[in-house]
Structure 1
Amino acid sequence: MFKGDDLKELFWRAARSYSVSDYNKAIVQMRELNADAAEAFIIQNPKCFCRCFLNIETKADVIVNNMAETFNGYILHYRSKHIINMLEDIMVSVMTRLVNKQNEMACKNVFVCPRIQLKLNKDKDRAFKCSVFPSSPTLFQVKNFNDVSVDLNNRTCTCRKWELTGIPCYHVCAVAGSLKMNVEELVHSCLTKEMYLKSYQFTIPPLPSEKHWPVVELPLNPPPIKIGPGRPKKNRKKDPGSSLG
């Protein structure tokens, strides 16, 4: 209904804003560009999909369904099989993946997870553009394009990215640099190697073949299978709104 690159950019700017102030600024600009589009955006209940309204306890800023799409692609070759064979193949694949992921991480000599470290390194590079002014041993004002407040005791920053993701933002990286601190120590514990290994410590037990299944007296007949005309479709039917991503 509402098209245009400028409008699309403002849509994602509002959705990806970590702070309410940045979100409100994007909404104001959206209203100036297209008031109807801004109202349509607000009607969709932004508290359910905008970062600035997400619960900080989750330590995640994901607002798209990429994880579900990744899993759909992961099981693409299994979905066309009979339901029993499909479930067995998915089980074996996930069972193996859990072990492989644990073994891969166990071999790495790191404190935080590698992908988290990559994100942190980008913020470290941005931190050099900031100026840090202490207000107390744990409270700081950081100047860049906009001033923000960093509280090391409560692990908060005005930009809100640190609280939401658990990864220190570039404001926090600047503070850590001024204090000669190891900024990796400020990463939330759920993003460390230790916690990653704990997450993958639970395994899926192997399932014997049908030959070894217990025999039951009650006969179980499968439901009738109706095969439609044409070649079976493997690709998921996408929602019209999914093209926005």
Structure 2
Amino acid sequence: MKEIQVLNRAAYDYLVETNLKSWSRAFFQEGKMCDTVENGLSESFNNVIRDARKKPIITMLKEIRLYVMGRLYNLKMKGCSWPDYKPFPSITLLLDKLKIVQRNLAESYVVDLDKKTCTCSVWQLNGYGCVNSVATISYRNRDVATYVDPMLYAAFYKNTYKYQIHGMNGSNMWPITEFIPPLPPLKRRMPGRLKVERSRVQRTNKLKIKKRKIIDKGKDGEGSCGPTRVDEGSNGLTTVVERRSGPTPVDNERSGTNRVDEEGVDQKLVVKGKNLRGS
């Protein structure tokens, strides 16, 4: 903490205001057989029930119950073959790692094998030992597993998962009551514009670009071969919107412009005459 205070005073003040027992190992309570504080368990559980939380309450509770039932059963079957009065496999792996760790010879700590304590306080926190205790026990030619706290034995593991959640009948076998059955919530209209569902043909037709042909007002729209719609704009030009299967050779000669849209239909813009309302 003194080093943090020198590097960043604001960070030091923030850490001091926080409960030291929740993040600093130096203030952890001994005898809990846990040297870390994390919320990985709750985050993993929330990730599992993420999809179930979106469903109605009865369906949600049913899926959570089935998940917990399966997990309890799997963990119970996992420890059936373990010896009762020996550390479970994960603790054994940690002890094997401590046996090959090089101890810092520049530091010295007092280890009491009878009280199962070490002045580095790691043994009191985790319950299975530290590098100093393992070195001391190995120097005395004793079994390191015998100095592990009984809370980390397989017998305690089996006792944790001996309980189970019993099955439940389906809703068709529930007793009938005199109460009013719950009704689904009323359908609300969400804010915003309603989404219009269009068929594939409608979406395809919408992508087609209609050909526009500008002609002098009063002429008959030479070269058109389909249904037309005449619109008079504010700029004095009359726009004839029509649809054709393709341009004619005459149109190609007059305009010199030929395009092919996304659907493969030739589109053409023909400009003739002048502004009718212009000077």
Shift >6 Å, 4+ stretches: 225-228
Higher relative helix content: 1
Please give the secondary structure, in 2, of the residue aligned with 1:37. Answer: helix
- 2:161 aligned with 1:200: yes
Aligned residue in 2 for 1:155:
116
| Unaligned ranges ≥5, structure 2 | 192-279
Return 5+ residue gaps in structure 1 as ranges.
1-26, 131-142, 231-245
Task: Give the TM-score normalised by the residue count of structure 2.
Answer: 0.62
- Cα distance between partner residues in 2 of 1:181 and 1:170: 15
Aligned pairs (5 A) from 1:34-45: 34-45=8-19
How far off its partner does 1:177 sit?
0.2
Counterpart-to-counterpart distance in 2, 1:227 and 1:177: 71
Structure 1 residues 224, 104: closer, same or farther in 2, change over 3 A?
same
- Structure 1 letter corresponding to 2:6: E
Cα distance in 2 for partners of 1:155, 1:225 equals: 64
Q: Which residue is equivalent to 1:32?
A: 6
Code of the residue aligned with 2:74 in structure 1: it is N
Question: SS at the partner of 2:53?
Answer: coil
Structure 1 stretch displaced more, 210-219 or 167-176: 210-219
Matching of residue 117 in structure 1 with residue 92 in structure 2: yes
- Higher RCO by CA contacts (8 Å cutoff, separation 6 or greater): 1
The one-letter amino acid paired with 1:163 is Q
Rate the CA distance shift 1:86–1:149 in 2: closer, same or farther, 3 A: same
Deviates more, 1:213-222 or 1:146-155: 213-222
Alpha-carbon distance between aligned partners in 1 of 2:112 and 2:181, rounded to the nearest angstrom: 63
> Aligned-pair distance for 1:206?
0.7
- Secondary structure, counterpart of 1:112 in structure 2: coil
Aligned residues: 190
Superposition TM-score, scaled by structure 1 size: 0.71
Shift of 1:96: 1.4
- Which structure has the bigger radius of gyration? 2
Question: Structure 1 residue 109: deviation in Å?
Answer: 5.5
Separation in 2 of the partners of 1:102 and 1:66?
A: 21
Partners of 2:166 and 2:185 in 1: how far apart? 31
User: 1:9-158 alignment to 2 at 5 Å?
Assistant: 27-108=1-82, 111-126=86-101, 129-130=102-103, 144-158=105-119
Letter in 1 for 2:17: I
